[in-house]
Structure 1
Amino acid sequence: MTGAFDAQLLLSVFITLFVIMDPPGTVPIFLALTGTMTRAERSRAARQAVLVALGVVVAFAVFGQGLLSYMHISLAALQGSGGLLLLVVAMELLTGKAEEPQPAAAGRVNVALVPLGTPLLAGPGAIVATMVFVQQAEQTWDWVVIALGILGVHLCLYLAMRFAGAVHRVLGESGTTLVTRIAGLLLAAIAVQLVADAVRAFVTEG
């Protein structure tokens, strides 16, 4: 390997992705989307969501720029689509639809995959930030440092969701319902901001 270990880059990658992916902030949304699950099911959902998010982030880090260029898709378009999908999820949280028990045969999408894994965790912000770091990498050690930063943030995400059950027991049903509504409102605001940023980017590019 060439170069040397860059601790400043590691800190930059970790802090940037930590703020964007927001492990503490995922707890109320995770509780809202997994409220009808057992403890074992919630633990499995946390593991699946983190693995999906990690897979998406790594895939875009390696192939993202080439894929978007090949399909003539701008980063603004990716950001806008993610915002719209999050807005749909936010409406379900605000109306209580996401809390309704669903039979296994209903064929609903696994919430650990969508919307938790993506676009909530591995959303446009995290994807774009990772792609920027990768594009700025100049040596082999930079790739290693970026990988360590990504793994560190995903470990924090897993721990936050893995122990969300303890938070659920403390809050109780009424407290969880209140947190769910607040989470829905905040998620809606995040979604609208993503769409607004995408529109602003389109206008600037135009």
Structure 2
Amino acid sequence: MLTTAATITAFTTIFVMIDPPGLVPLFLALTHGMTPKQRRTVAIRACIVSAGLMMFFLFLGQAVLDFIGISIPAFRIAGGILLFITALDMLFERRQTRRRTSAEDALDPGHDPSVFPLGIPLIVGPGLITTLILLASTASGPLGLATVVAVALINIAIVFVTFLAAPRIGRFLGTTGLSVMTRLLGMFLAALAVQFIIDGIISAGLTGAAG
């Protein structure tokens, strides 16, 4: 089972990678002109799809790595670098620009945005996939993995609530407030990414010493 500190770290990492506040303006743009009932339906579908994808990578991500022949220390270092790049994108607003581009590509009156681009890649993107595999690899036993699953599902629940409250959140925070929050989350993610890299280097050193 994960320790309290590890559980908090897992929750924070997933939360920062998804960045629910940053999804608010995109959700509003993708559901523009929809009734509250239609928005709720889109939110439900997007969260169900996202939860399914997250479970897939939590349970089968390790098997994929084993099949390819990638060690966990190597993946931690590579994942940490990827997460650090994502953090820089959040700090300099490049991530939101890419997200907006994906949202604009899907702005079609007859298009259902729940799977694309909301489910993937806006909620479950490459960075989150990497994070999930890393967290699953550090979970000790079935209880540890169950804790990561619970943390992931709690984050999906937060996304769902955020989508339902998106109009109010958008009015309350405004463009500036959402930008500031995204940058703060980027700072947290940068620190977590460095920790992943340090853990990977230490694990690689221990593995090499044991060999």
Q: Same fold (TM over 0.5)?
A: yes
Structure 2 unmatched ranges of 5 or more = 32-38, 109-115, 206-211
Query: Which residue number corresponds to residue 78 of structure 1?
Result: 79
2:120 matched to which residue of 1?
Answer: 113
The answer to whether the 8 Å contact 1:42/1:162 transfers is: yes
Q: Which of 156, 162, 174 matches 1:164?
A: 162
- Note if contact 1:28-1:183 (Cα within 8 Å) is conserved in structure 2: yes
Counterpart of 2:10 (choices 17, 31, 39) is 17
Query: Which AA in structure 2 matches 1:128?
Result: L
The match for 1:178 among 172, 176, 179 is: 176
Aligned to 2:137: 131
Determine the C-alpha separation between the residues in 1 that align with 2:63 and 2:165. Answer: 36
**C-alpha displacement at 1:14, in angstroms?**
5.0
Query: Distance in 1 between the 2:170 and 2:59 partners?
Result: 37
2:100 to 90, 98, 101: 98
- Counterpart in 2 of 1:150? 148
Segments of structure 1 that go 5 or more residues without pairing to the other structure are 1-8, 135-141
The 2-side partners of 1:177 and 1:96 are apart by 17
Once the two structures are TM-superposed, the CA of residue 130 in structure 1 deviates from its matched residue by 1.9
* Secondary structure, counterpart of 1:69 in structure 2: coil
Quote the Cα distance in structure 1 between the aligned partners of 2:148 and 2:184: 25
Contact 1:21 1:121 in 2 (8 A): yes
- TM-score calculated relative to the size of structure 2: 0.63
The one-letter amino acid paired with 2:11 is: F
Aligned partners of 2:24 and 2:87: how far apart in 1? 16
Q: Residues 165, 41 of structure 1: CA spacing in aligned structure 2 closer, same or farther, 3 A cutoff?
A: same
Find the aligned partners of 1:15 and 1:74 in 2 and give their Cα distance: 21
Contact 1:68 1:74 in 2 (8 A): no
**Structure 2 residue aligned with 1:5:** none
CA–CA distance in structure 2, aligned partners of residues 96 and 161 of structure 1: 19
Deviation at 1:28, TM superposition (A): 0.9
Q: Equivalents in 2 of 1:199, 1:72: separation in Å?
A: 9
**In 1: Cα distance, 2:191 partner to 2:10 partner:** 18
**Pair 1:186–1:45, CA change in 2 (3 A):** farther
1:48 is aligned with what amino acid?
V
Q: CA RMSD in A?
A: 4.1
Measured after TM superposition, the shift of residue 58 of structure 1 is 1.9
Quote the Cα distance in structure 2 between the aligned partners of 1:36 and 1:118: 19
What are the within-5 Å matches in structure 2 for residues 187-202 of structure 1? 187-193=185-191, 196-197=194-195
